[in-house]
Structures are given as C-alpha cells and as structure tokens.
C-alpha cells in the first residue's frame, strides 16, 4: 500500500471510530426498549427500533479532515435494532450482505463513503461489538465479489443493533439520491423515526403518502430546515411478494435539491409537467437528427425506393425501425460491449424520443409526447419529479400507436409492462391551478396476450433410466418476452437480422476493416463477438434453471428462432435441448416419474405469506400453457394418471391439468392463468387457491410399472 493509501486508511479508521461513538451514543429511548409487544410475540423477528438521520450541509458536521476545502456535505444514517426469535431470522441476520445494507440505507452509491457498525445485545444485557475493520468491503457490481459482514455468536433470543452511515463531501453541487422511507417491512416494527436537517444551500421537497403522518417542520438557530416524522407498532407486510410498497405502505418521500429556497410540501403535478416540457423544448434535436439524416434516407430508400408513396403508417414504422437501428445497433462503443450487457444499453428517453419525433416530422409524420406514472411507482397524486413519470411518443397516424424507449428491442405499438393501464396525458405546459387531464389510460394487456407456451418432448437419456432428455420449444408473447430478450438475445444476431431487414449493405465490421488504424479495433471487436456467442450456453442454462425445479445437468443445444424485434412477428421464440437428473427414482423393478416438476416450478410461500391484508400487484396478467409428451419406455405402463386431471377456477384465474396415454406417449397438459395484474386484498383466498393448485400439481408423480 502506498503512503497516501495508508494515510487515507488511517483517516477512514479514525472517522469510522468517531461515527461508531456518535451512533451508539444516540439518546433515543426506542433503542433502550428491550420488551417485545405482546401482539408481536409470535413473529420470527421484530424490529424493535429503526431510526433514520438525514443531514445536508449541517454546520456542526463540517469538521472531518477528509472534508477540507469541500463546499457540500451529505450524510445519511440508518440504525436498526432487531430481536431474533427463531432459526429463520437467525439465518437472515447471521451475516449482513450488501443488499441488506442497501435496503436499510438507499443513499449508498459508488461516490459515498460508507461506514457500518454492529453489536450483539445478549438477553442478560451484555454487549458484544462486531469487528467491522477495513476487510469489510461492500460492492454491488457484476464484476466485483460482494462481501458479507459475518455476525458471529448471534443466537436466538439475542438482539442485533446495527447501522449504515454514508457520507459525501464535494466541491461542486451533486444532487443526492431521492429518498423514500417506508413505514413497513417484512418484519413488524415497534418504533420507526426519521429526523432531517437540511441546510440553506438546498431546497427540500417532501410528502407523506398512504396515511403516513405529516412531518413536523421547524428550523434551528442556523436556519436549517428540520423535519421529523415517525410511526409506532407497524405490522409486517409482504414487501417482497406481489406488492407495491410505494402504493400500499405508509411512506415519506424526500428530495434534496440544489439552490436554497423555501421547503416545498407536496410538489404540484403542474410543476412536473412544466419541467418535462422544459427538458423537451431545450433539446438540440435538430443537431442530433442532422448527424443521422443521410443514413436515415439511405436506409429507407434501400428498403423501399418509393417509400414516400407508402401509407403514412408504413412510413412511420419504417422510419422508427431505421432510427432504432442507427441509435442502438449500428455503432461500436469504446468498451466493445456486445455481450449480455449490450442488451441493456441505455439511451436517455428525452434524447431518443425527442430526436425520433423530429425525425418523423422530417418524413411527414406527426407525433405527440405522452407521459404516465409507473405501475409500481407512486400514483399520480404523489408524483414529485420527472423521474416518477415515463415518457412515450404517440404516433398520430390513422390508427395511432405508441413508441417507447424501453430497450433496443422495443417494437412500435409495444406498451411496456411498467406503464400499462396507467393514466396518461400529453406533455405540455400548464398554468398553476390547471387540472391536468389524466382521464385517458394506457392500454392494458390481457392474460391471453401475455402467454408462455411450452412444448416439451421428454424421454430417457439412452440406457440411463434416471436421466431425462428434454427437447423444449418456447414461445413468449407480449410482456413475457421483456426479461428474456435481455438475457437470451445475442447482439450480433439481432444486428444482422435488422441489417438484413433494412437492406443495409455494409456492416460495422466492413467499416472497421476498411480503416487501417482500426485494424486492432476490428480484431478486438471480432474477439468480443466470439466471446459473447460463447456466453450463450450459460445464459440459456440460467434461463432453464429459472423455469424448472431442477437445474439442467447439461445444455446440449439452444437456438433463437425469432427474436421478436418486429411488430409483424413480435413473439420471442427459442428452443433448447438439455438433460436433467433427479426426476426419476427407482422403486424396485419400477420407476417413479416426478411429472409435476417437469411441467411447473411453483411459488413457495412461507407460513406468514398465506395470510394477507394488502392488495396484490403482479407484473401483468398472464398465461402459462405447457404440454409434455413423455416417451414411455418399452415394457412399462403408466399408473396414477387420474390424479393429474383437475380444474381450479375462480374470478382471479385458473389451473387446468390433464393427462392421458396416446400410444407409447404420456401426454400431460398444464395451463395456469392469472386474469388480472392487480387484485384487491379481499381476493387473496382465490389467488391462494390457484397457487395451492400449482403446488399440488408440482408434487404429483406417476408410476412406470414394469411388465
């Protein structure tokens, strides 16, 4: 370690010790309470106290050596004390991961300095400090190993008291992350309080949501804005299971912005629309378009020499595909990223759609910006900034359709799952007091439109009676293709598919090879393409593992038959061939086939999740339709099929299963449907019946009887 590195480490340790002394010294009676309320006595874990402290530019904090000559200071501290009541919660808290720290303190980022502390409080009152020296590193990147803080000697009956402090000093203003505090968790909370001190260099915006108490606002001697809010005896909620915390739980939102002005409680929706309009009006889309204008014309003319004579709808779609190709496909970035991460390439919505609108206008097509809140984000009454709203373009042809910038695979008239069914309006300026027209709604897809169709041909793998060989054909329709396109599509294949469809003669590689100075770049690019293709086996193996109860033993083949890049052929279609072990067990001369696990891997509910009093939020209505043809080994017959013929049907959905023998094939059909993307809490028993039917079917087996 260099001398400067050693000095920085010394400063970090000194600051860490100071933070530890400060936080453990908080005079908050909530952390002195060690008695679990009777109403929470049966819980696996009880959060006895949780306190969040937010400070920005607080005068009394500007004394750390690392902050010399810095103008701006941010600090977020969240401390929590939990009572461990059983082995399940012991396992959850015996080591703290980055994810747990991030969940506790959302202000963590790559530019903040993070301090953590933990101590165990034994039933007799003795306290054991957990060692959190410099070996504990917290990383949340795909390429870095995520460290975990081991909480040794934690036992059932103990309390774990721990905190996360993030601090950031900067010379120039850097807007902090917008914060949301939920008064609710997977475990009950006895006492939750929040204290904010925001200096005069900043503007603070805040709002209480979903029956959360109003924050108490005051000032101190330094004219800092002080906000205090809290709740007690908060019951547990299934935050990680079909739930939108921001729409169901009491919550407090806080934005800390640059430029000192009066606090803003409940940001007017008109302000958000006016900000969106300002962003769009001030885009230099003309310059952006001029950079691609000739390429656009060349592509459209190559696709159809008389494209200007096409119907307006056809011109619009051709222009959109050509524009998407130029912005997402026909470029080489500095990192030569052509693997799975390339599929998640992000272009700012305002620049992408703003330039697209100008492009469409050039080709004689009118379009209008529209916006909608996110389905699992704050509702329209609690919007606090442009980040809460999506931006789309409505193409105003005879039959208007929408264009989104979800990702590089988005087709014209595809509505992202995140905004379907949400109120939407045209983006324009509004005077204060105007009523923003949000009566229109984005289209909402049906369960039939969002289908996963599976066809599996299953047989024994040669003479091995306990290894299954599976040929699988998958069709993903509607919203179901979103995630798998990101995981399974290979950039080179998509590029060549679109290049062919748009009649683009020269490829990127042709241009790279043509330039002498790009020789090394072209070679590196070819190597990157090869590496990306080699990664497909692991990506398909991951997809198979996510769909079935058992991981594949080996993935033998995979192929994308249709990438779903075009409105005319929107489905993602692919096939896989693999072997899987553990689904056949010997029983004397006979065999038992776990046929239910071949078909379906159901959700596994914890005992606490079987009761529910909050509304259900699923990603979208959807249908799984799976057919299995199992080749019966010669000399065997199938018994026990009668248990596979069942129907469960109600207002929320259905599960229909059937089985029959046709010749030497056991034919099993499984169809599960969730009719709606959202259900009221009162419908939970109906959804539970569907989930139980899926679990019951997954446990079904048939006997392959010899002779």
Q: Which domains does the chain have, with CATH numbers?
A: 10-266 (2.60.40.3140), 272-426 (3.10.620), 451-494+527-706 (2.60.120.1130)
* In the predicted structure, residue 343 carries a pLDDT above the cut 70: yes
Give pLDDT tens digits for 574-597. Answer: 999 999 999 999 999 999 999 999
pTM over 0.85: yes
Residue 176 is encoded by which pair of tokens? Answer: 């902090």
* In the predicted structure, residue 608 carries a pLDDT above the cut 90: no
What is the reported pLDDT for 206? 96
* In the predicted structure, residue 317 carries a pLDDT above the cut 60: yes
Following DSSP, what letter does each residue of 218-251 receive, concatenated? EE-TT--EEEEEEEEEEPP--TTSS--HHHHS-E
Pair 506, 325: CB distance under 8 Å: no
Say which range, 380-394, 432-446, 641-655, has the weakest mean pLDDT: 432-446
* In the predicted structure, residue 462 carries a pLDDT above the cut 60: yes
What is the reported pLDDT for 432? 61
For residues 37-45, average pLDDT: 93
**pLDDT tier, 103 (very low <50, low <70, confident <90, very high otherwise):** low
Q: Any idea of the CA torsion for 379, 380, 382, 388, to the nearest 10 degrees? A: 80
**pLDDT tier, 46 (very low <50, low <70, confident <90, very high otherwise):** very high
More confident residue, 107 or 263: 263
What is the reported pLDDT for 3? 61
For residues 30-36, average pLDDT: 95
What is the reported pLDDT for 52? 96
* In the predicted structure, residue 136 carries a pLDDT above the cut 80: no
* In the predicted structure, residue 668 carries a pLDDT above the cut 90: yes
**pLDDT tier, 65 (very low <50, low <70, confident <90, very high otherwise):** very low
What is the reported pLDDT for 5? 61
Residue 529 is encoded by which pair of tokens? Answer: 């393409």
Q: What are phi and psi of 285, to 5 degrees?
A: -70, -25
* In the predicted structure, residue 102 carries a pLDDT above the cut 90: no
What is the reported pLDDT for 150? 84
For residues 374-399, average pLDDT: 94
**Which ranges constitute the DSSP H helices of 84-210?**
87-93, 98-104
**Which ranges constitute the DSSP H helices of 256-369?**
269-281, 285-303, 312-324, 349-362
More confident residue, 669 or 464: 669
For residues 440-446, average pLDDT: 94
Tell me, what DSSP letter sits at residue 398? S
* In the predicted structure, residue 134 carries a pLDDT above the cut 60: no
Q: What is the C-alpha R_g of the chain?
A: 29
* In the predicted structure, residue 309 carries a pLDDT above the cut 90: yes
| Burial of residue 537, with CB atoms counted within 10 A of its CB: 0-12 exposed, 13-18 middle, 19 or more buried | middle
CA distances from 385 to 93, 105, 207, 506 (A): 35, 21, 12, 43
Pair 322, 412: CB distance under 8 Å: no
For residues 220-240, average pLDDT: 93
For residues 237-247, average pLDDT: 92
What is the reported pLDDT for 337? 85
What is the reported pLDDT for 564? 98
- Backbone dihedral region of 588: left (phi > 0), alpha (psi from -120 to 50 degrees) or beta? left
Element (H, E) at 492: helix 491-501
Residue 658 is encoded by which pair of tokens? Answer: 């059937």
- Say how many C-beta atoms besides its own lie within 10 A of residue 156's C-beta: 12
* In the predicted structure, residue 689 carries a pLDDT above the cut 80: yes
Helix (H, G, I), strand (E, B) or coil at 527: helix
Give pLDDT tens digits for 162-219. Answer: 998 888 877 666 666 689 999 999 999 999 999 999 988 888 999 999 999 999 999 9
What is the reported pLDDT for 402? 97
For residues 459-472, average pLDDT: 91
Give pLDDT tens digits for 550-578. Answer: 899 999 999 999 999 999 999 999 999 99
What is the reported pLDDT for 66? 45
* In the predicted structure, residue 100 carries a pLDDT above the cut 60: no
| Burial of residue 270, with CB atoms counted within 10 A of its CB: 0-12 exposed, 13-18 middle, 19 or more buried | middle
| CA separation for the pair 2, 573 (Å, rounded) | 54
* In the predicted structure, residue 682 carries a pLDDT above the cut 90: yes
* In the predicted structure, residue 105 carries a pLDDT above the cut 60: no
């Amino acid at each position: 370690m260099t001398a400067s590195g050693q000095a920085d480490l010394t400063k970090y340790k000194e600051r860490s010790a100071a933070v530890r002394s400060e936080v453990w010294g908080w005079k908050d009676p909530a952390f002195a309470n060690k008695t679990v309320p009777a109403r929470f006595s049966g819980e696996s874990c009880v959060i006895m106290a949780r306190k969040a402290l937010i400070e920005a530019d607080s005068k009394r904090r500007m004394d750390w050596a690392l902050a010399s000559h810095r103008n701006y200071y941010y600090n977020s501290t969240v401390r929590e004390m939990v009572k461990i009541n059983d082995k399940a919660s012991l396992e959850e808290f015996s080591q703290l991961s980055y994810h747990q720290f991030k969940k506790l303190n959302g202000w963590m980022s790559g530019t903040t300095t993070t301090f953590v502390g933990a101590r165990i409080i034994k039933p007799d009152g003795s306290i054991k400090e957990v060692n959190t020296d410099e070996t504990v590193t917290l990383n949340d990147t795909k390429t870095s190993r995520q460290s975990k803080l081991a909480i040794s000697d934690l036992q059932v009956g103990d309390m774990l008291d721990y905190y996360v402090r993030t601090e950031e000093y900067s010379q120039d203003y850097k807007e902090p992350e917008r914060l949301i505090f939920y008064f609710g968790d997977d475990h009950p909370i006895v006492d939750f309080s929040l204290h904010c001190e925001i200096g005069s260099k900043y503007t603070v915006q805040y709002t209480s949501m979903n029956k959360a108490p109003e924050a108490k606002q005051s000032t101190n001697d330094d004219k800092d804005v002080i906000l205090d809010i809290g709740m007690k005896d908060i019951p547990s909620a299934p935050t990680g299971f079909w739930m939108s915390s921001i729409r169901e739980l009491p919550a407090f939102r806080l934005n800390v912005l640059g430029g000192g002005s009066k606090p803003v409680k409940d940001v007017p929706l008109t302000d958000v629309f006016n900000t969106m309009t300002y962003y769009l009006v001030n885009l230099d889309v003309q310059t952006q378009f001029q950079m691609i204008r000739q390429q656009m014309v060349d592509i459209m003319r190559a696709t159809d020499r008389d494209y200007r004579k096409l119907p307006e709808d056809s011109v619009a779609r051709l222009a959109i595909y050509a524009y998407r190709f130029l912005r997402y496909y026909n470029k080489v970035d500095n990192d030569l990223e052509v693997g799975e991460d390339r599929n998640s390439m992000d272009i700012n919505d305002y620049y992408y759609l703003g330039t697209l609108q100008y492009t469409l206008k050039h080709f004689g097509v009118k379009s209008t910006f529209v916006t909608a809140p996110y389905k699992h984000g704050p509702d329209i009454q609690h919007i606090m900034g442009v980040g809460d709203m999506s931006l789309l373009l409505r193409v105003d042809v005879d039959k208007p359709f929408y264009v989104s910038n979800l990702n590089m695979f988005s087709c014209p008239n595809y509505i992202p799952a995140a905004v379907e069914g949400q109120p939407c309006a045209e983006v324009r300026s509004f005077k204060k007091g105007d009523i923003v027209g949000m009566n229109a709604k984005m289209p909402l897809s049906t369960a039939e439109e969002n289908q996963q169709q599976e066809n599996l041909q299953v047989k024994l793998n040669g003479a091995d009676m306990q290894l299954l060989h599976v040929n699988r054909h998958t069709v993903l329709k509607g919203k179901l293709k979103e995630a798998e396109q990101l995981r399974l599509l290979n950039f080179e294949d998509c590029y060549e598919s679109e290049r062919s469809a748009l009649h683009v003669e020269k490829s990127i590689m042709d241009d790279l090879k043509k330039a002498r100075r790009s020789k090394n770049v072209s070679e590196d690019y070819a190597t990157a393409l090869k590496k990306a293709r080699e990664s497909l086996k692991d990506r398909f193996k991951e997809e198979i593992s996510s769909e079935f109860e058992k991981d594949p033993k080996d993935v033998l083949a995979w192929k994308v038959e249709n990438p779903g890049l075009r409105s005319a052929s929107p489905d993602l279609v692919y096939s896989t061939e693999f072997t899987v072990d553990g689904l056949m067990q010997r029983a004397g001369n006979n065999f038992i086939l776990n046929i239910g696990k071949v078909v379906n891997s159901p959700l596994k509910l914890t005992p606490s999740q079987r009761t529910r009093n909050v509304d259900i939020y699923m990603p979208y209505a959807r249908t799984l339709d799976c057919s299995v043809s199992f080749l019966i080994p010669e000399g065997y017959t199938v018994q026990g099929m009668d248990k596979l013929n069942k129907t469960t049907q109600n207002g929320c959905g259905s599960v229909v299963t059937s089985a029959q023998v046709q010749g030497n094939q056991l034919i099993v059909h499984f169809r599960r449907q969730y009719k709606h993307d959202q259900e009221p809490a009162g419908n939970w028993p109906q959804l539970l019946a569907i989930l139980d039917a899926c679990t019951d079917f997954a446990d079904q087996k048939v006997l392959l009887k010899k002779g």
